[in-house]
Structure 1
Amino acid sequence: MLSREEMPSLLILFFMIFFLLESLVAIIENGFIIIVLGREWVQSWTLPPGDMILVSLGISRFFLQLAAILSNFFSYFSSTGRTNYAAVFWNFANVATFWFTTLLAIFYCVKISSFTNSIFLWMKWRISRYVPWLLLWSLLISFLTMISSSEKFYLVFQSPVNGNYSEKNTSEDKKLEYHVHFFQSLRLFVLIIPFFFFLISIILLISSLCQHLGNMQHHNSSPQDPRMQVHITSLKSFFFFLIFYISYFLPLIISILVPISIFSSLFWVWEIVTYAGISIYPLFQILNSSKLRRALNKMTQDLHKRNSTPK
């Protein structure tokens, strides 16, 4: 337990509460996506490939935010020297979230883009049937990353117990430092690869939509034309998709390269900034999906009827 001197200051406590509320919003939003799409998946034993990726992304973000809460508060309030297993699971959920987000971007890029390249046409024809396998491969990569992070935590927390202040201890410290740097590099590599594919997919998709929109304007299509409205809405959606994803990726990478003490108020501000996109973008997805929007409207109407019914 923390001593009185180590108890959080009022400023840190304020940021903790803000982070907790932000996390609860993200958990509720992603939980709604999981319930609506997951129920349909269970009832019909089938789901459109895009919704399949979306519900997988909702599950990973749900557990990512939950693991972030447990990991952060455990690290702050728990006594040192005990393994933070929530941080190990956070690594799994984090990598899964990155890969599922990339898969969603690649899927929309292939299905919506108007490129006539033979590779795009081949992928457009086959990508839907490969979605379940791509999701399984993403889970496998995330699981392997979790195993690596588990080994790192074991080295960090167990090596001080087994060593003594001798030359052997110095050798163990060097070995530990090498492993920590190795796992840090591996962690960066595992996150940068999906981000790279995500960035290419979104840029290609936005470029394709802009090109198609320009062709429609060249043919004097009215701004109120439904097809033009669909493309404008899609451009806005994927532009925000790019902004929210970068708003999560960059702070996360910076926090890996330049660690900040969890007992600093700056750490909690950084956590709020990092998870802002995860707490905002699910609502954007709900409002831009006709299926999720109908479910939200139905739930709102049911709650309104229940509250307005006299007891």
Structure 2
Amino acid sequence: MPSLLILFLMIFFLLESIIGIIENGFIIIVLGREWVQCWTLPPGDMILASLAISRFFLQWVAIFNNFFTYFFLTSRRLYFDIFWVFTNVVSFWFTTWLAVFHCVKISSFTHPIFLWLKWRISRIVPWLLLWSLLICTLICISVYVKICLVFQLPATGNYSEKTTLDDITRALRWKFLMPVQMFLLIPFLFFLSSNILLISSLCQHLRNMQLHNANHQQPSMQVHVTALKSLFFFIILCTSYVLPLTITTLAPISNCSSWFWVWEVVMYFGISIHPAFLILNSSKLRTALRKMLHDQEIA
């Protein structure tokens, strides 16, 4: 039986995961309905839908992985970890492409690279999503095959009797899964760079507006300030996910430890809140939410 602290953290983790599942499910339904009607989505909505789908499965896999391995399995959780790593890496790549897309579309830089990207970004979004999914799939399949081969070795006598299954599991996590997890640092650097560039562009534009301060520009200035606050919050949320994930990858913690559940609560808090901001910042999703709440009030 878990201690009271672990039980409290488990419940908190479960609640925030369910909230994230509901939010992402709402995004999937709204954008999925539009896709069925039009058989196409704008590039930004395409990234948003892909991100919602990946996070929807990520949080289901996280719930199943954490609770099932805590109550039923203490070893061979590597097979469950692979599915979690896949949805995790795919989800963060899609988060990165959303940040890159907004940076290219909103920033006012006049560098030729940015001008070229502004013209091309809408066309290459489907390819960015497809290649991210394909690369992550191939990496996880290769890791799965290697793990299956290694787990067959004890039966052939290639391991001594002193080598336990837990020892093999720990070695495999360090050798195969850790490099895949650290692969997250690549999209995270792209994510940070895109957001920093966008913040720089918005700050520069805000300074120009302040130099030509006029009453009719006040609403526009407020919009830019709100956008800056949202970007800073977005960076904090994603950092609160990547930082604990990197720590637990470099220094694995047993899921029977209270610290494991503390990190899980911290990690999934950000990605459970972020869909709400995506919904509120999208006029299409905001309208659908308002209509749904209005229909419920009438019913």
Question: Normalization by structure 2: what TM-score?
Answer: 0.91
Counterpart Cα distance in 2 of 1:74 and 1:94: 18
Alignment-derived partner of residue 42 in structure 1 = 36
Query: Any unmatched runs of 5+ in structure 2?
Result: none
User: What's the counterpart of residue 69 of structure 2?
Assistant: 75
The 5 Å alignment of 1:4-23 reads 7-23=1-17
Deviation at 1:148, TM superposition (A): 3.6
Aligned equivalents of 1:271, 1:134: Cα separation in 2:
29
C-alpha deviation, 1:178, in angstroms: 6.7
Q: Is the 8 A contact 2:44 2:101 kept in 1?
A: yes
Partner of 1:33: 27
Which residue of 276, 282, 285 corresponds with 1:292? Answer: 285
Q: Is the 8 A contact 2:209 2:217 kept in 1?
A: no
Confirm or deny: 8 A CA contact 2:69 2:77 kept in the other structure. no
Cα displacement string for residues 265-307 of structure 1 (whole angstroms, at most 9, x for unaligned residues): 111111001100011111111111111111111000101110x
Q: When the two structures are superposed, what TM-score results if normalisation uses the length of structure 1?
A: 0.88
Secondary structure at 1:225 match in 2 = helix
1:238 and 2:245 equivalent?
Answer: no
Q: Does 1:108 align with 2:102?
A: yes
Match of 2:256 in 1: 263
2:242 maps to amino acid: F
The number of aligned residues is 298
Choose from 51, 56, 59 the match for 2:50. 56
- In structure 2, relative to structure 1, the CA distance for the partners of 1:304 and 1:289 (3 Å cut) is same
- Residue 277 in structure 1 maps to residue 270 in structure 2: yes
Assess, with a 3 A threshold, how the Cα gap between structure 1 residues 126 and 79 changes in structure 2: closer, same or farther. Answer: closer
Question: Structure 1 residue 176: deviation in Å?
Answer: 8.1
Residue type at the aligned position of 1:103: W
Give the distance between the partners of 1:232 and 1:223, measured in 2 at CA.
16
State which drifts further: 217-226 or 43-52. 217-226
Provide the C-alpha distance between the structure 1 equivalents of 2:200 and 2:131, rounded to a whole number of angstroms: 28
Structure 1 residues 19, 220: CA separation in 2 closer, same or farther (over 3 Å shift)?
same
Listed as ranges, the gaps of 5+ residues in structure 1 are 1-6, 307-311
Distance 1:221 1:151, change over 3 A: farther
Assess if the C-alpha contact under 8 Å between 1:223 and 1:229 holds in 2: no
| Partner deviation per Cα, 1:2-42 (whole Å, 9 max, x = no partner) | xxxxx222222221111111110010011011111111112
- 2:261 and 2:238 mapped to 1: Cα distance? 20
Aligned-residue CA RMSD in angstroms?
2.5
Is residue 196 of structure 1 aligned with residue 189 of structure 2? yes
Worse-matched range after superposition: 79-88 or 244-253:
79-88
Alpha carbons of structure 1 residues 252 and 189: separation in structure 2 relative to 1, 3 Å: closer
Q: CA deviation at 1:128?
A: 0.3
Contact 2:147 2:172 in 1 (8 A): no
- Worse-matched range after superposition: 232-241 or 199-208: 232-241
- Note the C-alpha offset of 1:86: 3.3
CA distance 1:186–1:164, shift in 2 (3 Å): closer
Amino acid at match of 2:87: A
Mean Cα deviation higher: 155-164 or 102-111: 155-164
- CA deviations 1:136-188 (Å, max 9, x no partner) are 0110122123214424543564444444764x987x99998775443245224
Please give the alpha-carbon distance, in whole angstroms, between the structure 2 residues aligned to 1:161 and 1:217: 73
> Which position in structure 2 is the counterpart of 1:90?
84
Of residues 104, 119, 124, the one that matches 2:118 is 124
Q: Is the 8 A contact 1:113 1:208 kept in 2?
A: yes
The answer to whether the 8 Å contact 1:74/1:84 transfers is no
1:4 counterpart residue number: none
Which protein, 1 or 2, shows the higher relative CO under an 8 Å CA cutoff with sep ≥ 6?
Answer: 2
Amino acid at match of 2:93: W
Contact 1:60–1:96, Cα closer than 8 Å, also in 2: yes
Tell me, yes or no, if the aligned pair for 1:71 and 1:84 is still in contact at 8 Å. Answer: no
